[in-house]
């Protein structure tokens, strides 16, 4: 009898914990699909890749997952003391100071394109957003 009550009490506590975790974190969400467009604005070429993003995950995670998958997407970053990873090259093409070229980060949704004010290590794509890595000049 007492044993049964203890078990019931324990179970209830476990269930309460699960409910409170679910409430504070939202449901245990699955990764969502995300499109990544690599655009070379100087040569007018583009490639679209599909990958997944974790619930409120950073863009860098989706890019690493894509790089590890069997396709041709490759990128390199350089660590900046203040702002984290700076996107140096995509698919072998690197920006450089002499030509004043770089990979710009853009995000497009509902036909509107924004320029995020953080880099790939901090940006959290919204569901349904298309991420554009655009090789361009500054």
Ligand X SMILES: *[C@@H]1O[C@H](CO)[C@@H](O)[C@H](O)[C@H]1NC(C)=O
Residues of this chain that bind ligand B12 (CB under 6 A): 80, 83-87, 97, 102-105, 115-120, 122, 138
Q: How far is the CB of 109 from ligand X (least distance, A)?
A: 4
> In degrees, to the nearest 5, what angle opens at C-alpha 121 toward C-alphas 70 and 45?
55
Place of tokens 């995000």: 107
x/- string (CB under 6 A) for ligand X, residues 41-70? -----x------------------------
Cβ-contact 115, 104 below 8 angstroms:
yes
Q: How far is the CB of 47 from ligand X (least distance, A)?
A: 8
Cβ-contact 104, 134 below 8 angstroms:
yes
Q: How far is the CB of 36 from ligand X (least distance, A)?
A: 12
Residues 6+ apart with CB under 8 A from 76: 87, 88, 89, 94
Among 34, 36, 39, 120, binds ligand X (CB under 6 A): 39
């Amino acid at each position: 009898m007492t044993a049964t009550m203890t078990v019931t009490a324990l179970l209830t506590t476990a269930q309460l914990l699960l409910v409170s975790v679910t409430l504070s974190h939202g449901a245990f969400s699955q990764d969502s699909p995300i499109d990544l467009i690599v655009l070379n604005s100087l040569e007018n070429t583009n490639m679209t890749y599909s990958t997944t993003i974790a619930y409120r995950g950073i863009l860098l995670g989706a890019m690493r997952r894509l790089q590890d998958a069997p396709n041709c997407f490759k990128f390199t970053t350089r660590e900046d003391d203040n702002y984290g990873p700076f996107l140096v090259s995509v698919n072998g093409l690197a920006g450089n100071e002499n030509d004043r070229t770089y990979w710009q980060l853009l995000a497009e949704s509902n036909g509107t394109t924004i320029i995020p004010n953080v880099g790939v290590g901090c940006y959290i794509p919204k569901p349904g957003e298309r991420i554009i890595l655009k090789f361009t000049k500054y």
